[in-house]
Structure formats: C-alpha cells, structure tokens
C-alpha cells in the first residue's frame, strides 16, 4: 500500500463515522420529538357568589375585584382570583381521537 491509498482509507473511515453519528443524532431527535408533550394553557377567572366559587374562561377586561353576573343566581358576583391552568396533551394525536 502506498501513502495515497492510506489517506483515502482514513478519509473514508472519517466520513462513515460522521454519517453514522449524524444518523444516530437524527434518530434520537425524532424519538424525543414524538414523545414530547405540549402544555396547553387556559386562563381562568374564579367568581365568588352565593357562598360558592365558580370558574369560567377568562374574558378580556377581567380583574380581581370586578363585579360580574353570577351564572346561578343572576346577581352580582366578584372575581376573587385569576390563574393559569396547565393542561398536558400529547403532541401527536391519533386520527380517531376527538380534538378538545
């Protein structure tokens, strides 16, 4: 073997190792992306009225202390808290699963 063929063989080994490492990296990233979960956030307002607490979807303009209509007794209730609910959902859904 001469010097040139040894250099070519060395380059071939380096290229094959690089391709193998790239393929392994892509497979790992694909697996991680499939199993990753998405966090869905929903903003909720808590209304206190009639001695009870009710939650509803946040409306633009809501703030703690605001008076709003109670859904049960139709009198004035007060917003006592606003917070974010985190709902975890799988990123990939099956075709037959309903979308919420």
Do 61 and 85 fall into the same domain? yes
Q: What is the pLDDT of residue 6?
A: 85
Do 56 and 83 fall into the same domain? yes
Residue 60 C-alpha from the chain's centroid: 23
Q: What is the pLDDT of residue 20?
A: 97
Do 43 and 79 fall into the same domain? yes
Number of domains in the chain: 2
Which structure tokens are listed for 58? 């946040």
Residue 70 in domain: yes
Q: What is the pLDDT of residue 87?
A: 77
Q: What is the pLDDT of residue 100?
A: 41
Which structure tokens are listed for 81? 């808290």
Residue 98 in domain: no
Do 51 and 11 fall into the same domain? no
pTM score, two decimals? 0.49
Do 47 and 71 fall into the same domain? yes
With CA atoms as reference, report the closest residue to 44 among 88, 76, 85.
85
Residue 53 in domain: yes
Do 58 and 79 fall into the same domain? yes
For residues 12 and 17, what is the distance between their CA atoms, to the nearest angstrom? 9
Q: What domain range includes position 76?
A: 38-90
With CA atoms as reference, report the closest residue to 45 among 7, 8, 83, 74.
83
Torsion of CA 19, 24, 26, 28, to 10 degrees: -170
For residues 56 and 44, what is the distance between their CA atoms, to the nearest angstrom? 6
How do 76-90 and 37-49 pair as beta strands? antiparallel
Do 42 and 31 fall into the same domain? no
Residue 96 in domain: no
Q: What is the pLDDT of residue 5?
A: 84
The one-digit pLDDT tens for each residue of the chain (100 residues) are 577 888 888 999 999 999 999 999 999 988 887 766 667 889 999 999 888 898 899 999 999 999 998 877 888 899 999 999 887 665 444 444 444 4
């Amino acid at each position: 073997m001469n010097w040139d063929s040894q250099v070519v063989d060395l380059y071939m080994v380096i290229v094959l190792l690089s391709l193998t490492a790239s393929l392994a990296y892509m497979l790992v990233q694909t697996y991680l992306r499939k199993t990753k979960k998405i966090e869905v956030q929903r903003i909720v307002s808590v209304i206190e009225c009639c001695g009870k607490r009710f939650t509803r979807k946040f409306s633009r303009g809501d703030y703690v202390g605001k008076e709003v209509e109670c859904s049960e007794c139709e009198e004035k209730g007060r917003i006592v808290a606003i917070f974010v609910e985190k709902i975890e959902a799988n990123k990939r859904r099956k075709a037959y699963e309903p979308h919420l």
